[in-house]
Amino acid sequence: MRYAPVSFFVALLATFAMAAAPQRSVIISWPNDTPDEIVEQSKEAIRKAQGVITHEYNIIKGFAAQAPASALEFVSTMSDVYKCEIEEDGIVTTQNGKE
């Protein structure tokens, strides 16, 4: 009987752990003078952490994403000069709920 190498099981557990990590739905934005390279590096960091870019904005310098908290923490520290804002994504209404 052949057994799979230990590295296979380690990889399997790591994949399961990444899939089980809770993801937050957020909007990440930067000041308009932020270089595009910083925004692109942030997107790549989120993708590498198994996150997803759900929308790219044209009006503001930013994007919406679903990503694990660890990736969002990393993105928030990528630049000392150009600080990003990370906000929870959600439904915005102009009504106060009363009709």
pLDDT digits (tens, 9 = 90+) for 65-88: 999 999 999 999 988 899 999 999
In a domain, 1, yes or no: no
In a domain, 57, yes or no: yes
For 10, 11, 15, 71, 80, the CA distances from 5, given in Å and listed in that order, are 9, 10, 16, 30, 43
pTM score of the predicted model: 0.71
Is residue 36 very low, low, confident or very high in pLDDT (cuts 50, 70, 90)?
A: very high
Domain region containing 52? 22-88
pLDDT digits (tens, 9 = 90+) for 8-25: 544 544 554 555 568 999
Residue type present at position 56: E
In a domain, 53, yes or no: yes
pLDDT score at 3: 47
Q: What is the CATH number of the domain that holds 60?
A: 3.30.70.80
**Alpha-carbon span 16 to 62, nearest angstrom:** 30
pLDDT score at 54: 97
pLDDT score at 95: 81
Domain tally for the chain?
1
CB within 8 Å of 68: residues ≥ 6 apart: 18, 21, 22, 23, 24, 49, 50, 51
Q: What is the mean pLDDT of the chain?
A: 83
In a domain, 9, yes or no: no
In a domain, 16, yes or no: no
In a domain, 4, yes or no: no
In a domain, 96, yes or no: no
